[in-house]
Homo-oligomer: A and B are copies of this chain.
Amino acid sequence: MKTPSPSLLSLALVHYPVVNKHGEVVTTSITNFDLHDLARTSKTYGVSYYIITPNPAQQNMARYIHNYWQEGIGASFNPDRSEAFDAMEVSESIADTCLTIEKLHGKPPTLIATSARSIKNNISFNKLREDLTQNDRPFLLLFGTGWGLAPEVLEKVDFILEPICGVGSYNHLPVRSAVAIILDRLLGKF
């Protein structure tokens, strides 16, 4: 069996548009742990990841943290972390991320949303893994912060990835864990 190509896959952590616990569309704040954990997990699986926020102050904070670990004291204290942050880029919107990927690959990405709930237009892990093996087009996986991606995103994407099912009805994985499990299911060797 051919191995899926990680270079075709990118992921984005979306801070807008997402919903809060009341279902209202909001912009969430960046979480420092997300930047680190997603950088390390993305580097492990060889994918690029984008931090999406329209807020300039939040973009600056993400870039400040990125630069601290790549050029500041952090880079000499922990070179492994510096290497991880190679994978990260700040972006102002989903559309902007798609343009960046199109410039890199010559084609716009197939957009795949993730959700903790089962929603129509699902794609299975096996099917997406197969697509990553057999195609040469880029894919962008979208992860929502807060209470998940806004309905307007879910309506526009090409597919919604099937949810991760545990052993019971509890479906509140941290986004950091969901990213790790999904990358492993799509690209892991085991």
Closest B residue to A125 by beta carbon equals B190
B187 with A185: CB separation less than 8 A? no
Cross-chain contact B177 with A37 (CB below 8 angstroms): yes
With beta carbons under 8 angstroms apart, the residue of B165, B167, B174 that contacts A40 is B174
How far, in Å, is A178 (CB) from chain B's closest CB?
Answer: 8
For A149-190 the 0/1 string (1 means CB < 8 A from B) is 000000000000000111110111110111111001101111
Q: Is A97 an interface residue (CB 8 A)?
A: no
CB closest residue in chain B, given A33? B33
Our pick among B40, B166, B187 for the contact of A173 (Cβ within 8 Å) is B40
Is A46 a contact of B181 with CB atoms below 8 Å?
Answer: no
User: Do B172 and A40 touch across chains, with their CB atoms under 8 A apart?
Assistant: yes
| Majority DSSP secondary structure for residues of A touching B | helix
Q: Which of B6, B167, B174, B189 contacts A176 (CB 8 A)?
A: B174
Contact A184 B187 (CB under 8 A): no
| A80 in contact (CB, < 8 A) | yes
Question: Can you report 13 residue pairs joining A to B where beta carbons are below 8 Å apart?
Answer: A6-B167, A40-B174, A41-B174, A44-B173, A81-B172, A126-B190, A164-B188, A165-B188, A165-B189, A174-B176, A177-B177, A177-B179, A177-B180
The 9 closest A-B pairs by CB, nearest first: A44-B166, A177-B180, A46-B167, A180-B180, A80-B172, A181-B184, A37-B174, A41-B177, A43-B170
